[in-house]
Structure 1
Amino acid sequence: MKTRNYKPAIIIISVVINVLVLVLAGIPGVDNFTAFDVKILPLMNAIFNSFTFLFLVGALVAILNKKVTLHRRLIYAAFISTTLFLLSYVTYHFIAESTSYGGTGIMAGIYYFILITHIILAAVIVPLALTSVARAWNMENERHKKIARWTMPLWLYVSLTGILVYLMISPYY
């Protein structure tokens, strides 16, 4: 079986996604947007993150039980829910201004710790997840396992903290 070089695509996709998210963080949003209530989108983001988290937990359990086909399907489902999250996230941040956290004291410290680690690891997880799946597609099982040992816990953390960030900031929308 001939292996394919996915590295250029992984680099391009990772850079495009991370630059897009960075740029959207700095734009003011659309004035007088009335097509729908944009406040539904952060809830959708949390729901998509919840599905991603559950799919990843299922994929981890499946592979630990040597159910490779189920593992593969759940990873694909996690990619789909993550893609839907990304589309919803980009749409929200294109239309609406960023929401500031209104809490104080220890809760603000916890919120910002979770948010900052979530943001950093969300940027890191894009190339890791794409590289993991590319190695699996190329049947590079040992290399896939090596990177998946990092990818899985980080992706689980990013999806879980995405939910936590939403729950903590939702009263301020």
Structure 2
Amino acid sequence: MNNPVVYKKRNYRPAITAISIILIGAIGILFGLPGVENFDAFDVTILPLINAILNSFTFIFLFSALIAILKRNITVHRRFIYAAFTTTFLFLITYVTYHFLAPSTSYGGTGWMAALYYFILISHVLLAAAIVPLALTSVARAWNMENERHKKIARWTMPIWLYVSLTGVLVYVMISPYY
């Protein structure tokens, strides 16, 4: 008789809460800092482009993960989700580095373009903060083999994360002339 595999469920909630608070708090603090004066080790203005490229890869990986799960290919889905987490992690490193080293860049457009830019930016920022605990909870539920609970939260997580990664690129495209 075959014994079924028993998964020990782990409580990831304290780690998810701590990571979310630290990450969102650190980014919030960075926006209040003026940037490092006379930093010339490298041209920091390349970092927003790198951020946009990493966000583009995150979007592609997430979309591919979505297609894979719709085809019920869990192995491919999992690989693309891990790839999306990897590019998101690399994005966070370059994002934090840029905002630590460089002063804030203001959007220079006017009229309806400014309204569109700020709508995209504000929704992007708010949902980017929300995606941190959502994505971490989604993956924790998958690791714990809580498939039904994973599906319930992933139905929210996936479209929000796709939106955040896509609008990250749009924000870059719209503000890049003002760097």
Give your verdict on TM over 0.5. yes
| TM alignment of 1:8-157, pairs within 5 A | 8-157=14-163
How many residue pairs get aligned? The number is: 173
How far apart are the structure 1 equivalents of 2:111 and 2:35?
Answer: 29
Amino acid at match of 1:93: H
Per-residue deviation, 1:2: 1.3
Residue by residue over 1:120-150, the C-alpha shift from the partner in whole angstroms, topping out at 9 and shown as x without a partner, is 0000000000000000000000000000000
**One-letter amino acid matched to 2:100:** F
- In structure 2, what is the Cα distance between the partners aligned to 1:128 and 1:24? 22
Between the aligned partners of 1:145 and 1:47, the Cα distance in structure 2 is 28
TM-score (norm 2): 0.96
Counterpart pick for 1:167 among 131, 155, 173: 173
Q: Which amino acid in the other structure matches residue 67 of structure 1?
A: N
Unaligned runs of 5+ in 1: none
The alignment partner of 2:44 has SS state of coil
User: After the TM superposition, which segments of 4 or more aligned residues of structure 1 sit over 2 Å from their partners?
Assistant: none
The Cα of 1:37 is off from its aligned counterpart by: 0.3
Describe the SS at the equivalent of 1:39. helix
CA offsets 1:48-94 (integer angstroms, 9 cap, x no match): 00000000000000000000000000000000000000000000000
**Structure 2 stretches lacking a partner, 5+ long:** 1-6
TM-score, normalised with respect to structure 1: 1.00
RMSD between superposed Cα atoms in Å: 0.3
Identity %: 72
